[in-house]
Amino acid sequence: MRVLAQPAFVLHARPWRETSLLVEVLTRDHGRVGLVARGLGGAKKHALRAALQPLQSLRIDFLPRGELARLLQAEAQDAAPLLAGDRLMAAFYINELLLRLLPRGDVSPELYELYARVRHELTDARALAWNLRRFERDLLDLLGYGLPWDAVADDQPVHAATRYRLDPERGPVPDPRRADGSVSGAALLALAADREPEPLLLAELRLGLRDVLAAHLGASGLRSWGLMGELARVRTRSQD
């Protein structure tokens, strides 16, 4: 049965054969869907090919066929955000994270709305780090991996002055040794309250949430993590 006029965002697209694309989209009512877009060669198909780019908001018609559906029609709903530098890298990271953690066909209109929110927030360079941490927190919740950010395993409250390590299954665990990668209670309480913390605490959340995500990603990390690390090293060398 054909699916008509389905709202979707493009997560990834790559060439396939001579004139086709393999496209991964996040739809509102059908979750993540893999599509084959055929016959995109020639000037008449230029607009369609241009629309099938990451971050683009679409309305699509497709025909489900096993693992990969056939794209019948796609119409851009707006202009995708024009991003560069850190914001472009952040978009790459968000899309890669969804492709790795979200199975095809796992329906979640809330996840579609979350993606719409963070896509819009990518245009705000000043709050980029905080918006990414909020996205990671909310993504974990929607995938069923959410943690009690303001309480430890025995339901005792997190204390601002205490250091914690983030256990992917149990949540915050007190860390009296204050090991590398531990997170202050103040940072966790800010995350739980949806309140942007100061930059030092925000950096702690980045490392703590990465450890949680890595546990769910398995042995293979994200390509975007390596690229972001390399970008940071290049910046450090340029400042020396």
**Which CATH number characterizes residue 27's domain?**
2.40.50.140
Number of domains making up the chain: 2
Q: Distance between CA atoms of 27 and 30, rounded to whole angstroms?
A: 6
Tokens 């997170």 correspond to what residue?
A: 183
Residue 202 and residue 151 share a domain: yes
Same domain, 104 and 152: yes
On whether both 68 and 155 belong to a single domain, the answer is: no
Q: Is residue 63 located within the same domain as residue 16?
A: yes
Q: Longest C-alpha distance within the chain, in Å?
A: 64
Q: Which of 38, 55, 76 is the last residue of a domain?
A: 76
Confidence of residue 181 (pLDDT cuts 50, 70, 90): confident
> 69 and 118 in one domain?
no
Domain match, 228 and 185 both: yes
Give the predicted TM-score (pTM) of the model: 0.91
- Same domain for 101 and 162, yes or no, is yes
Q: Which helix (H) or strand (E) holds 154?
A: none
Residue 57 has pLDDT above 80, yes or no: yes
> Do 176 and 134 fall into the same domain?
yes
d(CA 39, CA 49): 10
224: domain CATH number?
Answer: 1.20.1440.120
Do 13 and 107 reside in the same domain of the chain? Answer: no
pLDDT of amino acid 103? 94
Q: Do 99 and 165 sit in the same domain of this protein?
A: yes
Average pLDDT over residues 37-63: 86
Residue that finishes a domain, picked among 14, 48, 76: 76
Q: Mark whether 155 and 67 lie in a shared domain.
A: no
Residue 174 is part of which domain span? 85-239
Determine the Cα–Cα distance for residues 136 and 130; give it in Å rounded to an integer. 10
Residues 6+ apart with CB under 8 A from 127: 121, 196
Mean pLDDT of 132-157: 95
Decide: helix, strand or coil at residue 195: coil
**Could you tell me if 116 and 72 lie in one domain?**
no
How does pLDDT run across 196-225, given as a tens digit for each residue?
Answer: 999 999 999 999 999 999 999 988 889 898
